[in-house]
Amino acid sequence: MSILHTVNKSPFSHTILLSCLQLCGKDDAILLLEDGVLCAIKGSPSIQELSTTIGKGVKVYALAGDVKARGLQDKLHPDIYITDYDGFVKLSIEHQCIQSWY
């Protein structure tokens, strides 16, 4: 049993990524979307905490369209996977419930 977490706010102005990480179990996954993709860039405010969570085995994804729209393709932390809407659907099925952090 595991949870898919979605995060849609910038870590430069919100602390929801940290809230999400507090509850994130090792089998959970995190999908960064909308302004949440700003959490995925190198040097973002909570990147250390995010790396630690990835180290526990949590998979972190960023939504491709939102990354591309914001021009962040070359700025992403190397441990973050890129996915699309089909991937989003798949993730929502692979996990029991979805918690939306907004």
Partner 1 sequence: MIFSLAIYAAPYSSQASDTAYRFATALIANKHQLYRVFFYHDGVHNSSALNTPPQDEINLTLKWEQLSKDHDVDLVVCVAAALKRGVLNELEAKRYDKPTHNLHQNFEISGLGQLIDAAVISNKLITFGN
Partner 2 sequence: MTPINQTITQKKILFISRHAPYGTSLAKEALDAVLAASAYDQNLSLLFMDDGVFQLLSTQDPKDLDQKNFAAMLSALTFYEVKNIFVHLESLLARQITTNELAIDGVKIVDSATISNLLIQQDQLLSF
Q: How far apart are CA 96 and CA 83, in angstroms?
A: 19
Which one of residues 8, 44, 46, 53 is an interface residue with partner 1 (CB under 8 A)? 8
Strands (E), 45-87: 59-63, 81-83
Q: How far apart are CA 102 and CA 16, in angstroms?
A: 7
Select 52 or 69, whichever has its Cβ closest to partner 1: 69
Position 100 contacts partner 1 (CB under 8 A): yes
Look up tokens 């990147």; give the residue.
Answer: 47
Decide: 75 and 41 in contact? Cβ < 8 Å.
yes
Which one of residues 24, 32, 33, 47 is an interface residue with partner 1 (CB under 8 A)? 33
Where does this chain bind partner 1 (CB under 8 A)?
6, 8, 33-35, 65-66, 84-86, 88-90, 92-93, 98, 100, 102
Binding-site ranges for partner 2 (CB under 8 A): 1-3, 15-16, 19, 22-25, 96-102
